[in-house]
Chains A and B, each alone.
Chain A
Amino acid sequence: MGGLILEARGLGHVYPGGITALDGLDLGVRKGAKLAVLGPNGAGKTTLLLHLNGTLRPSSGRVLLDGAEPGSSRAALGHWRRRVGLVLQDPDDQLFAATVAEDVSFGPLNLGLSEAEARQRVSEALDQLGIPDLAERPTHMLSFGQKKRAAIAGAIAMRPDVLLLDEPVAGLDHRGARLLLAALGRLAAAGTTLVFTTHDVDLAWAFADEVALFESGKVIRQGPVAEVLADRPALDRAGLEPPLLLELGFRTREEALARLLPQ
């Protein structure tokens, strides 16, 4: 993994009505990482993602892209969003066109690419997500899992350096989640940095290589997945349980120690 591509420093966000979503949050995203932002529902994870691609402006603090503030002009935001893609939790919030191919072509055409180049990007994105057969399907007749993958294809067709995903496997059955994670794995292998929010510690354990624990609008711990998810006090603070495999390991060790060292 490389240096930091995206950072949040002292990030704060207060929604109208005085609800604090982010409270002096610090986060670093390394180039090429698969970073899981782990926390309970309502902790402010989605608000964080909306800051990381410039959709929301912070009440305090700043976001840095390659060490510099991206700026808030129209052109600067355009450049920021080209480099940092976003996939929302509900794919219906992104799919607006009649067919999958039309929807996926929206981003590349907004980049100013020619029709031939945009067609090439659409084809590549659908291949990467394993859904070339859905190209001509109407978006409102897709299953939830197919919609998820179509929405991600729409984001990666812009070839972002960083892809932000809000609860990518929420609402998917086991097979749908497996297909989606395989596709995300291919993206990561191709060099895309992935940041995803989740409350599923087992997903973070299985897929991420780095974890940021989120609690009450702050990151309370960030580091390699094996270290952070073994930190039981930090997990307790974030209202989370250790991954099932680790929990089994802890219990087995405790029982073994109890047998070896009887009181």
Chain B
Amino acid sequence: MSLAIDRLAWAGVWRRRALADKMVLALGLMALALALPPWPGAALVLVTAWGAALGAARLPWRDWLRLNAAPLGFVLTGAATLAVEVGPGGFALAADHGAAALATVLRAQAAASCLLLLAATTPTPDLVRGLRRLGLPAEITEIALLTWRFLFLLLDGAAAIHAAQDARLGWYGWRRSIRSLGLLIAQLLPRAMDGARRLEIGLAARGFAGPLPMLSPARPASAAFLGLTLGGLILVAGVSLWAA
């Protein structure tokens, strides 16, 4: 089993691009989204992030829309409370006619899109290894990588149990679903423990003695990409400040 965002990251054309390239672009845009005035700053960041995702990184637009839909749902729910006021006469449009709500939506969605751009083009292990290069202790990054790997085994286990329950009508009706969910969770824990024990045997057979050494592919940053990114960031900031 695989998660949609994980599949995109492994299959995308930017998978082999250096982490530094993608981080400078995504985090740089995010910093601008947070620092610049929402209009037109956050709007420009949003357009740039979507352009990078759909144009340069060639992410499938359906998947990209689906990824953005989840944070947008949260953002819109939060913004609704800014757009509407409750008075003696009931609900009414806010005094600023929803300007604050629109600014929040723009800023939040622009920042979320920047984060999604990084997540949908970079496999999780690359991110973890990047954190290690930035000084995070090896013990923490190794545990993070093992947890990430185990997540998929647990998802596989959960999918198998769910299918077995579903085949015997375990997910028909509210009560039965709750009961099946409880049984599923109760089954996953011993499975995970058992899997961890067998993994330990497998690692020991290959000389495991504490650390988990692995060869990682070297992906040097591209000066041209970084130059273009910095130029783009300056352009977005300049246009935003001039227009504001």
A interface residues (Cβ-Cβ under 8 A, vs B): 50, 53, 55, 74, 78, 81-82, 85-86, 88, 90, 92-99, 101-103, 105-107, 109-111, 115, 118-119, 122, 136, 138-141, 151, 154-155, 158
For B244, list chain A residues within 8 Å (CB): none
B contact residues around A90 at 8 Å (CB) = 198
Q: Within 8 Å CB of A119, what residues of B?
A: 215
5 contacts between A and B (CB under 8 A): A81-B205, A85-B206, A101-B215, A109-B214, A122-B215
Closest to A140 in B: B152
Count how many chain B residues have C-beta atoms less than 8 Å from C-beta atoms of the other chain.
32
Q: Is the CB of B201 within 8 A of A96?
A: no
- Interface pair B205/A86, CB less than 8 Å apart: yes
Q: B7 to chain A: which residues have CB within 8 Å?
A: 141
Given A136-B217, A141-B2, residue A88 in contact with residue B201 (CB < 8 A)? yes
User: In the complex, are the beta carbons of B206 and A106 less than 8 A apart?
Assistant: yes
Known interface pairs A82-B207, A155-B206. Does A110 touch B213 (Cβ–Cβ under 8 Å)?
A: yes
Q: Are B209 and A158 in contact (CB under 8 A)?
A: no
Tell me whether A158 and B202 are in contact in the complex, defined as CB-CB below 8 angstroms, given that A96-B149, A109-B214, A115-B215 are known contacts.
no
B204 interfacial contact with A, CB 8 Å: yes
Are B202 and A106 in contact, with the CB atoms below 8 A?
Answer: no
Chain B, residues 1-35, CB within 8 Å of chain A (1/0): the string is 11000010010000000000000000000000000
Residues of A within 8 A of B214 (CB): 97, 102-103, 105-106, 109
Smallest CB separation, A53 vs chain B (Å): 6
| Contact among B1, B2, B145, B198 for A97, CB-based, below 8 A | B145
Residues on A with C-beta less than 8 A from B156 are 92
Which B residue sits closest to A112, measured CB to CB? B207
Count chain B CB atoms within 10 A of each CB in A53, A82, A98 and give the residue with the most.
Answer: A98
CA distance A249 to B14 in the complex (A): 60
Report yes or no: B206 in contact with A158, Cβ–Cβ below 8 A: yes
A98 contacts across to B, CB distance below 8 A: 123-125, 145, 148-149
Residue B188 CB within 8 A of the other chain: no
B173 to chain A, nearest CB (A): 33
DSSP class of B's interface residues: helix, strand, loop or mixed?
Answer: helix
> Separation in Å of the B199 CB from the closest CB of chain A?
6
Does any Cβ of A come within 8 Å of B212's Cβ? yes
B213:A106 contact, CB within 8 angstroms: yes
Q: Is B195 positioned at the interface, with any CB of A under 8 Å from its CB?
A: yes
B146 at the interface (CB under 8 A from A): yes
Q: Which B residues lie within 8 Å of A99 (CB)?
A: 125
List which B107-163 residues lie within 8 A (CB) of chain A: 123-125, 145-146, 148-149, 152-153, 156
B199–A93 contact, CB under 8 A? yes
In the complex, how many angstroms separate the beta carbon of A132 from the nearest chain B beta carbon? 15
Complex CA gap A6/B127 in Å reads 44
CB of B61 within 8 Å of the partner chain: no
Decide if A92 touches B153 in the complex (CB within 8 Å): yes
A106 touches B212 (CB 8 A): yes
Query: What are the residues of chain B within 8 A of A93 when measuring CB–CB?
Result: 195, 198-199, 201-202
Given A92, A101, A107, A136, which contacts B207 in the complex, CB threshold below 8 Å?
A: A107
> In the complex, what distance in Å separates the CA atom of A88 from the CA atom of B206?
12
Instruction: Tell me if B203 is interfacial: C-beta within 8 Å of chain A.
Output: yes
**B207 x A78 contact (CB < 8 A):** yes
Which 6 A-B residue pairs are closest in the complex by CB-CB distance? A110-B207, A98-B125, A94-B202, A109-B213, A105-B215, A86-B205
- In the complex, the answer to whether A88 meets B207 with C-beta atoms within 8 Å is no
Which listed residue, A55, A118, A154, A155, touches B204 by the CB 8 Å rule?
A55
